[in-house]
Structure 1
Amino acid sequence: MNASPTPAPARRRLVLIDGSSYLYRAFHALPPLSNEAGEPTGALFGVVNMLRATLNEKPDYVAFVVDAPGPTFRDEMYPQYKANRPPMPDDLRAQVQPMCEIVEALGITILRVPGVEADDVIGTLALRAARDGIDVTISTGDKDFAQLVRSGGDGGGGIALVNTMSGSRLDSEASVVEKFGVPPGRVVDLLALMGDAIDNIPGVDKCGPKTAAKWLNEYGSLDGVIAHADAVKGKIGDNLRAALPRLPLNRALVTINTEVALEQGPADLALRERHVEALRALYARYGFKQALRELDGGAAADAPAAAGDGRVSMRGTEAGHARGAAKPLDGLDPALAAPGEYETVLTREQLEAWVARLRQAGAFAFDTETDGLDPLQARLVGVSLAAEPGRAAYLPLGHDYPGAPAQLDLDAALAALRPLFADPGLRKIGQHGKFDLHVLRRHGVEVAGYADDTMLESFVYNATATRHDMDSLAKRYLGYDTVKYEQVAGKGAKQIAFSQVALEDATRYAAEDADVTLRLHRALGPKLAAEPALERVYREIEMPLVQVLERVEANGVMIDAEELRRQSADLNKRMLAAQQKATELAGRSFNLDSPKQVCALLYEELKLPALVKTPTGQPSANEEALEAIAELHELPRVILEYRGLAKLRSTYTDKLPEMINPHTGRVHTSYHQAGAATGRLASNDPNLQNIPIRTDDGRRIRQAFVAPPGRRIVSCDYSQIELRIMAHLSEDEGLLRAFESGADIHRATAAEVFGKAMDQVSANERRAAKAINFGLMYGMGAFGLARNLGIGRGEAQDYIALYFSRYPGVRDFMERTRQQARERGYVETVFGRRLYLENIHARNAGLRAGAERAAINAPMQGTAADIIKRAMVSIDAWLAERRERALMVLQVHDELVFEADADFVDELIAQATARMAAAAELRVPLVIDSGVGDNWDQAH
Structure 2
Amino acid sequence: MTRLVLIDGSSYLYRAFHALPPLTNAQGEPTGALFGVVNMLRATLNEKPDYVAFVVDAPGKTFRDDIYPEYKANRPPMPDELRAQVQPMCDIVEALGISILSESGVEADDVIGTLALAAAQDGIEVTVSTSDKDFAQLVQPRIALVNTMSGSRLDSEEAVIGKFGVRPAQIVDLLALMGDTVDNVRGVDKCGPKTAAKWLGEYESLDGVIANAGAIKGKIGDNLRTALPRLPLNRDLVTIKTDVAMARGPRQLQLRERDADTLRVLYTRYGFTQALRDLDAAAAAPPVAGEGRRIGVRGTEAGYARPAASADGTADPALAVAGEYEAILERAQLDAWIERLRDAGEFAFDTETDALDPMRANLVGMSFSVEPGRAAYLPLAHDYGGAPPQLDRDEALAALRPLFEDASKKKLGHHGKYDLHVLRRHGVDVQGYADDSMLESFVYNATASRHDMDSLALRYLGYTTIKYADVAGKGAKAIAFSQVAIDDATRYAAEDADVTLRLHRLLAPKLVAVPSLERVYREIEIPLVPVLARIEANGVRIDGDELRRQTADLSRRMLAAQQKATELAGRTFNLDSPKQLQALLFDELKLPAVLKTPKGQPSTNEEALEAIADRHELPRVILEYRALAKLRSTYTEKLADIVNPDTGRVHTSFHQAGAATGRLASSDPNLQNIPIRTEDGRRIRRAFVADPGNKIVACDYSQIELRIMAHLSQDDGLLQAFASGADIHRATAAEVFGRAMDQVTPNERRAAKAINFGLMYGMSAFGLARNLGIGRGEAQDYIALYFSRYPGVRDFMERTRQQAHDQGYVETVFGRRLYLENIAARNQGLRAGAERAAINAPMQGTAADIIKRAMIAIDAWLQTQAGAARMILQVHDELVFEARADFVDTLLAEVVPRMTGAAELRVPLVVDSGVGDDWDQAH
- TM-score, normalised to structure 2, is 0.69
Give SS of 1:377's match. Answer: coil
1:315 to 1:610, Cα distance in 2 relative to 1, 3 A = closer
Which of 553, 568, 575 does residue 558 from structure 2 map onto? 575
1:343 to 1:641, Cα distance in 2 relative to 1, 3 A = same
- Structure 1 partner of 2:261: 272
Matched, 1:840 2:829: no
- Structure 2 partner of 1:769: 752
- 2:290, 2:324 within 8 Å by CA — same for their partners in 1? no
Partner deviation per Cα, 1:817-858 (whole Å, 9 max, x = no partner)? 111111000000000000011111111111111111111100
Give SS of 1:936's match. Answer: coil
Shift of residue 323, structure 1, vs aligned partner? 6.1
The separation in 2 between residues aligned to 1:565 and 1:344, in whole angstroms, is 50
Matched, 1:678 2:661: yes
Matched, 1:725 2:708: yes
The separation in 2 between residues aligned to 1:572 and 1:473, in whole angstroms, is 45
- 1:310, 1:345 within 8 Å by CA — same for their partners in 2? no
Which amino acid counterpart does residue 431 of structure 2 have in structure 1? A
- Structure 1 partner of 2:648: 665
Partner deviation per Cα, 1:570-614 (whole Å, 9 max, x = no partner)? 111111111111111112111111111111111111111100111
Which amino acid counterpart does residue 261 of structure 2 have in structure 1? R
The separation in 1 between residues aligned to 2:424 and 2:847, in whole angstroms, is 31
Which of 520, 523, 534 does residue 540 from structure 1 map onto? 523
Partner deviation per Cα, 1:634-658 (whole Å, 9 max, x = no partner)? 1111111111111000000000000
Which amino acid counterpart does residue 479 of structure 1 have in structure 2? G
Which of 577, 588, 599 does residue 616 from structure 1 map onto? 599
The separation in 2 between residues aligned to 1:317 and 1:337, in whole angstroms, is 16
Partner deviation per Cα, 1:644-687 (whole Å, 9 max, x = no partner)? 11100000000000000000000000000000000000010110
Matches within 5 A, 1:269-418: 272-273=261-262, 309-314=292-297, 322=306, 326-330=310-314, 332-418=315-401
Which of 535, 547, 555 does residue 538 from structure 2 map onto? 555
- 1:700, 1:937 within 8 Å by CA — same for their partners in 2? yes
1:306 to 1:581, Cα distance in 2 relative to 1, 3 A = farther
Shift of residue 305, structure 1, vs aligned partner? 8.0
- 1:315, 1:341 within 8 Å by CA — same for their partners in 2? no
The separation in 1 between residues aligned to 2:264 and 2:413, in whole angstroms, is 42
Give SS of 2:325's match. Answer: strand
The separation in 2 between residues aligned to 1:640 and 1:326, in whole angstroms, is 48
Give SS of 1:703's match. Answer: helix
- Structure 2 partner of 1:111: none
Shift of residue 320, structure 1, vs aligned partner? 5.7
The separation in 2 between residues aligned to 1:333 and 1:372, in whole angstroms, is 35
- 2:851, 2:902 within 8 Å by CA — same for their partners in 1? yes
- Structure 2 partner of 1:489: 472
Matched, 1:744 2:727: yes
Which of 859, 863, 880 does residue 842 from structure 2 map onto? 859
Which amino acid counterpart does residue 675 of structure 2 have in structure 1? P
The separation in 1 between residues aligned to 2:459 and 2:261, in whole angstroms, is 27
Shift of residue 324, structure 1, vs aligned partner? 6.4
- Structure 2 partner of 1:823: 806
Matched, 1:439 2:422: yes
Matched, 1:687 2:674: no
- Structure 2 partner of 1:903: 886
Which amino acid counterpart does residue 812 of structure 1 have in structure 2? D
Matches within 5 A, 1:72-471: 272-273=261-262, 309-314=292-297, 322=306, 326-330=310-314, 332-471=315-454
- 2:659, 2:665 within 8 Å by CA — same for their partners in 1? yes
Matched, 1:789 2:772: yes
The separation in 2 between residues aligned to 1:889 and 1:316, in whole angstroms, is 47
Partner deviation per Cα, 1:448-467 (whole Å, 9 max, x = no partner)? 11000000000000000000
- 1:346, 1:395 within 8 Å by CA — same for their partners in 2? yes
The separation in 1 between residues aligned to 2:288 and 2:435, in whole angstroms, is 30
Q: Runs of 5+ in structure 1 lacking a partner?
A: 1-9, 12-33, 37-55, 57-103, 107-269, 277-289, 296-300
Partner deviation per Cα, 1:277-311 (whole Å, 9 max, x = no partner)? xxxxxxxxxxxxx989x99xxxxx99x98766333
The separation in 2 between residues aligned to 1:742 and 1:717, in whole angstroms, is 17
Partner deviation per Cα, 1:375-423 (whole Å, 9 max, x = no partner)? 0001100000000110100000111111111100011000111111111
The separation in 2 between residues aligned to 1:628 and 1:694, in whole angstroms, is 20
Shift of residue 616, structure 1, vs aligned partner? 2.5
Which of 883, 887, 899 does residue 916 from structure 1 map onto? 899
Shift of residue 335, structure 1, vs aligned partner? 2.7
Which amino acid counterpart does residue 554 of structure 1 have in structure 2? A
- 2:511, 2:517 within 8 Å by CA — same for their partners in 1? yes
Shift of residue 742, structure 1, vs aligned partner? 0.2
- 2:298, 2:304 within 8 Å by CA — same for their partners in 1? no
- 1:713, 1:933 within 8 Å by CA — same for their partners in 2? yes
- Which 4+ stretches in 1 moved above 6 angstroms? 304-307, 315-319
Which amino acid counterpart does residue 369 of structure 1 have in structure 2? E
- 2:288, 2:298 within 8 Å by CA — same for their partners in 1? no
Shift of residue 313, structure 1, vs aligned partner? 3.0
- 1:561, 1:657 within 8 Å by CA — same for their partners in 2? yes
Give SS of 1:468's match. Answer: coil
1:380 to 1:358, Cα distance in 2 relative to 1, 3 A = same
Q: Runs of 5+ in structure 2 lacking a partner?
A: 1-25, 28-45, 49-84, 86-94, 98-258, 266-273, 280-284
- Structure 2 partner of 1:475: 458
- Structure 2 partner of 1:933: 916
The separation in 2 between residues aligned to 1:315 and 1:575, in whole angstroms, is 57
- Structure 2 partner of 1:810: 793
Shift of residue 561, structure 1, vs aligned partner? 0.8
Which of 556, 581, 585 does residue 598 from structure 1 map onto? 581
- Structure 2 partner of 1:887: 870
- Structure 1 partner of 2:32: none
- 2:308, 2:461 within 8 Å by CA — same for their partners in 1? no
Which amino acid counterpart does residue 382 of structure 1 have in structure 2? G
The separation in 2 between residues aligned to 1:678 and 1:418, in whole angstroms, is 37
- 1:381, 1:396 within 8 Å by CA — same for their partners in 2? yes
Which of 670, 674, 685 does residue 702 from structure 1 map onto? 685
- TM-score, normalised to structure 1, is 0.68
Shift of residue 890, structure 1, vs aligned partner? 0.2
Which amino acid counterpart does residue 425 of structure 2 have in structure 1? R
Considering only aligned residues, what root-mean-square deviation do their CA atoms show, in Å?
Answer: 2.5
Which amino acid counterpart does residue 826 of structure 1 have in structure 2? Y
1:582 to 1:810, Cα distance in 2 relative to 1, 3 A = same
Give SS of 1:366's match. Answer: strand
* Identity across the alignment (%): 76
The separation in 2 between residues aligned to 1:729 and 1:345, in whole angstroms, is 55
The separation in 2 between residues aligned to 1:688 and 1:488, in whole angstroms, is 34
Partner deviation per Cα, 1:314-345 (whole Å, 9 max, x = no partner)? 37889866566841542x32231121010000
Shift of residue 495, structure 1, vs aligned partner? 0.3
Give SS of 1:407's match. Answer: coil
Which of 565, 577, 581 does residue 548 from structure 2 map onto? 565
Which amino acid counterpart does residue 852 of structure 1 have in structure 2? E
The separation in 1 between residues aligned to 2:601 and 2:298, in whole angstroms, is 55
Partner deviation per Cα, 1:173-221 (whole Å, 9 max, x = no partner)? xxxxxxxxxxxxxxxxxxxxxxxxxxxxxxxxxxxxxxxxxxxxxxxxx
